[in-house]
Amino acid sequence: MTAPSATTEIAACDEGPGSHDEITGRAFTADSLGFVIQDVARLLRGSFLARVAETELDLTVGEARALVYVSGGIGMRQTAIAERMGVEPMTFCGFVDKLEGRGLVERQPHPDDRRAKQVVPTDAGCVALSRFAPLSRSVLGDATADLSQEELEVFRTALLKIRARLSAPKG
């Protein structure tokens, strides 16, 4: 007897409430939407890290994300950037500590609140951004090479809607 594949519905587990995806009506498998999204994110992170390892940038995916969010959030408080990234303030602080230690960002007093800090990219941080942005585009280009521009736009729009819905305040 052969073992069932990840996409095979397993009869013994295909019974009762909760055994099917309420959105698609299909049995839960490794190809269910939530699992696929997680798998693709993990594979993209791994591909990006492999490309970064080929350079001297020496950034983790988290550090790279933090640098991108810092560059897009100039004038924002650290806590606001952490919230936008979807990470705890202490996690963001760890990323900033490492980026600051490499001279890629610096903390500055916030102009409107002397108790708060804002994080801004340094010139070296902007150079690093300009160097790993093509790596990210290359990884995404490879991953989406079999999709048409129309499919990519539909996919991007769907993901943006999902992110917005999940990010919206509850209530």
In CATH, what number is assigned to the domain containing residue 87?
Answer: 1.10.10.10
Residue 93 lies in a domain: yes
Residue 80 lies in a domain: yes
**Mean pLDDT for the stretch of residues 32-57:** 87
**147 has pLDDT over 90:** yes
> For 26-40, 77-91, 93-107, which range has the lowest pLDDT when averaged over its residues?
26-40
Residue 165 lies in a domain: no
Residue 87 lies in a domain: yes
pTM of the full structure: 0.67
User: In the prediction, which pLDDT does 2 show?
Assistant: 46
User: In the prediction, which pLDDT does 121 show?
Assistant: 94
Mean pLDDT, the chain, as a whole number? 84
User: In the prediction, which pLDDT does 16 show?
Assistant: 54
Q: What percent of the chain has pLDDT over 90?
A: 42
Residue 116 lies in a domain: yes
Residue 161 lies in a domain: no
Q: Which two tokens stand for residue 109?
A: 């007093």
Residue 52 lies in a domain: no
Q: CA 133 to CA 59: how far, in whole Å? A: 13
Domain span at residue 123 reads 40-46+58-136
User: In the prediction, which pLDDT does 143 show?
Assistant: 95
**95 has pLDDT over 80:** yes
**Is 5 or 53 the better-scoring residue by pLDDT?**
53
- Residues in CB range of 129: below 8 A, 6 or more apart: 67, 68, 71, 121
Residue 97 lies in a domain: yes
**Is 112 or 21 the better-scoring residue by pLDDT?**
112
Tell me how many domains the chain contains.
1
Q: Which two tokens stand for residue 151?
A: 């499919």
User: In the prediction, which pLDDT does 10 show?
Assistant: 46
User: In the prediction, which pLDDT does 31 show?
Assistant: 81
Q: CA 35 to CA 151: how far, in whole Å? A: 20
**114 has pLDDT over 90:** no
Closest by CA position to 44, among listed 145, 146, 141, 139: 139
